[in-house]
Copies of this chain bind each other. A is one copy, B any other.
């Protein structure tokens, strides 16, 4: 029953965010800049980040209306990272559609990415009243961390060994910092007190960690068509995910030699995915990932105790649950 209520609210607000994002690039010129931006932003997304802004703002005592522009801002920032990451990774598909640099060209992707970021700040400023400095500082810190995280991620791809601690530091910057920032922005716009700021900041941080490890896990466990990309893509590309690092740390002898091949050959053939899935299963790393996800999620949920109203707290709990149950 409650589940349905929150799911309905989620869908209702998601669709509002979608319309606001559609509006964001209307009446702007040149089309050569803003059409590509509208294209990427218009592709189907879960809109988790803007919804976290809204639900955090509400939990900290204001209403959604005060935070829609900030919500749009974080989604634009997220799309900026997608456009530049896809270009750097040479990815050709995103959310089932051609990536921006494939649909247009590399230069358009660079410039449209930059422009998405500039318009993100413009939207954020619209919802800044009183404590602009704190709001924009939080947003900027998120941006800085996501750049650093992306850079570590690239470094790690080139290294032979990456420890679990290093991996966790990297995803903290690359993924969790921005989820945390969304929650902070919501609280700051609502002028929430330092206790709720801390609580929701921790919630976002831990949720972000769980979210990224879940992403790594889904590379192996997702149903093919739901993920919108090949199962085992991370293995094929030789990425140092939670599963891989955990497996390498636990492995011995033959398994270890097989895993090291992934590093030395910078990836594997699609036909080898099954073999590595078996190694992962034997080493129990899928269960390790689930345990880690549960641990971070538990911390995230505990942080919500600072929220006064039951329904605001339940909404954010539902959100965590929704993210964990996702299969894509």
Contacts and interface: CB of A to CB of B under 8 A. Distances in A.
Contacts of A60: none
B30 A114 contact: no
Contact of A136 (B30, B136, B141, B144): B136
Contacts of A274: none
A102 B128 CA distance: 40
Contact of A151 (B32, B84, B133, B154): B32
B84 A147 contact: no
A122 interface: yes
Interface residues of A, number: 36
A4 to B, nearest CB: 40
Interface string A104-117: 00010011011101
Interface in A191-250: none
A150 interface: yes
A136 B132 contact: yes
A111 B151 contact: yes
Contacts of A115: 144, 147-148, 151
Interface string A162-197: 000000000000000000000000000000000000
A87 B106 CA distance: 10
A101 to B, nearest CB: 11
Contacts of A30: 148, 151-152, 155
Contacts of A148: 29-30, 33, 115
Interface in A20-36: 29-30, 32-33
Contact of A128 (B125, B133, B154): B133
A121 B139 CA distance: 10
A136 B120 CA distance: 12
Contacts of A141: 122
Contacts of A151: 30, 32-33, 111, 115
B154 A114 contact: no
Contacts of A121: 121, 136, 140, 143
